[in-house]
Amino acid sequence: MTTTARPGEDSVPRPGGPAGPPAASLTPHRQKGTVTRPGLRRKRTREALTFYAFISPWLFGFIVFTAIPMIASLVLAFTNWDSFQPPVFIGIANFVKMFTQDPLFWQALVHTLYFTVVSVPLSLLIALGLAQLLSRPMRGARFFRTIVYIPALVPLVAGAMIFKWLFAPDSGPVNGFLALFGIKGPAWLLDPHWVIPGIILLSLWQVGAGTILLIAALQGIPPELYEAARIDGASRFQQFWRLSVPLVTPILFFNLITGMISAFQVFSQVYVLTDGTSGPDNASLMMVPYVYDSAFRNYNMGYASALAWVLFLIIMALSAIVLRSSRAWVFYETEVRR
């Protein structure tokens, strides 16, 4: 057993295996105290080299465009830098200011949380509902799937421009529709209480991408499972809730994580809908627009870096919590089979 390699760790890395230097790192304990054949070792070295050669374009991009800027911004977070003159080290003053003296930071944080907590679950629910409707064989299914997906193809800025017009107080179709039911619609983007709901509606308009993934997942469920459920007397709702939903939880989980991260980083919607003012009177100020304003309007690159790092840590922490919770509710078929 010690001298023969398992099939899996032969020269060819398994497809879909964990990324990282193969063979060499997979079995470190194995090499200790055992006599490896010289040919195998050379093979492994060559293999590792090939591996690094293949990932080098990505690695290069990551180091130059992500890692170095991130480290730089971490350093800058502890400085006062206007981007023109040399940065001045000021310790944790940026963070002290952020948490104790800057009401705009708290506003931006609360608004961003509000936007995320409402828009992400809502868009998951809507995407799941649409997917359930559109995954069945019916006339025109392809047509409707296309319609649902089209908004995801429209550039965000163009979509936001359309929404500005839709939300017009008196002449806009949204309030025109509400007026049919005798409801006097709010001034939406001009009203401090309605501007974030307006931005949430814009984000819901773009559930198409998540819907497509869920349709694929729903259609991938073997029909015999439904057949068995029907024989056992499960109702339509029970089939959906006890069979379909658990089997698509991996996709729901993926949509939740990616949706949450991008909701925290919302920028274009706010920028276009409010003409870059985060108005009215900062009622729609979110974290990334605030980072942008600090860096490029107020020329405070150090403070902007500190804000960006706080945002990054918040996203990391929430992602970790969601990842952890996934053990309780995300269901992988392969785990059961084992």
Partner 1 sequence: MKGKKSLFALGVAGAMIVALTGCSSGTSADTPSGTSADTSSGSSAGSSSGTSGGTSGGTDEHVDLTMTIWGSDVDKKVYTERLALAQKALPNITVKLVQISDNYDTKLQTMIAGGQSPDVIMTAEAVNVLSSKGQLEDLGPALQKRGIDPVATFGEGSVKTYSTSGHLWGVPDRAGAMVLYYNKDLFDKAGVAYPDGTWDWQQFRDAAKKLTVSANGKTTTWGYAAGDWWPWYMTWMYQNGGRILDDNGKPVVNSPENVEALTFYNDMVLKDHSAPSPQDYADAGLKNGQPDPLFAQGKLAMETTGFWNIASLSDATFKWGVAPLWHGKDKAVPAFGSALAVSSQSKHKEAAEDLVAFLTSDEGETPIATSGLDIPSNLKLLKSDTFLKAPWNKGGIDLGAFTDSAESIYSPPLVPEWNQIQKAFTDGMDATWKGQASVADGLSKVQSTLEGIFK
- Among 36, 37, 54, 142, the residue binding partner 1 under the rule CB under 8 A is 54
Rounded CA-CA distance 184/117 in Å is 27
Query: Candidates 60-68, 227-235, 240-248, 319-327 — which segment interacts with partner 1 by CB under 8 A?
Result: 60-68
In this structure, are residues 264 and 312 in contact, taking their beta carbons and an 8 Å threshold? no
Query: Candidates 33-41, 150-158, 170-178, 239-247 — which segment interacts with partner 1 by CB under 8 A?
Result: 170-178
Rounded CA-CA distance 189/193 in Å is 9
Positive or negative: CA dihedral 302, 305, 307, 309: negative
- In the complex, least distance from residue 240 CB atom to partner 1, rounded to whole angstroms: 42
- Among 74, 118, 151, 169, the residue binding partner 1 under the rule CB under 8 A is 169
β strands within the chain, DSSP E: 79-80, 88-89
Query: Candidates 76-84, 128-136, 228-236, 261-269 — which segment interacts with partner 1 by CB under 8 A?
Result: 76-84
Q: Nearest 5 degrees, angle CA 264-CA 199-CA 304?
A: 40
- In the complex, least distance from residue 284 CB atom to partner 1, rounded to whole angstroms: 12
| HSE-up of residue 117 (Cα within 13 Å, Cβ side) | 7
Position 268 contacts partner 1 (CB under 8 A)? no
CB closer to partner 1 out of 94 and 255: 94
Rounded CA-CA distance 331/323 in Å is 13
Rounded CA-CA distance 331/218 in Å is 14
Q: Which helix (H) or strand (E) holds 219?
A: helix 208-219
- In the complex, least distance from residue 159 CB atom to partner 1, rounded to whole angstroms: 15
| HSE-up of residue 229 (Cα within 13 Å, Cβ side) | 17
CB closer to partner 1 out of 169 and 246: 169
Position 297 contacts partner 1 (CB under 8 A)? yes
Give the single-character DSSP code of 298: S
Q: Which residue reads 């392969």 in tokens?
A: 334
Give the single-character DSSP code of 244: I
- Among 204, 282, 312, 319, the residue binding partner 1 under the rule CB under 8 A is 282
Position 21 contacts partner 1 (CB under 8 A)? no
How many residues touch partner 1 (CB under 8 A)?
40
Position 187 contacts partner 1 (CB under 8 A)? yes
Position 39 contacts partner 1 (CB under 8 A)? no
Closest by CA to 50, choosing from 32, 29, 23, 27, is 23
Position 40 contacts partner 1 (CB under 8 A)? no
129-148 residues in contact with partner 1 (CB under 8 A) are: none
- Among 21, 197, 250, 279, the residue binding partner 1 under the rule CB under 8 A is 279
- In the complex, least distance from residue 296 CB atom to partner 1, rounded to whole angstroms: 5
Position 84 contacts partner 1 (CB under 8 A)? yes
Chain residues binding partner 1 by CB under 8 A are: 11, 43, 46-47, 49-50, 53-54, 56-57, 60-61, 64, 82-85, 164-165, 167-172, 187, 189-190, 275, 277, 279-282, 293, 296-299, 301
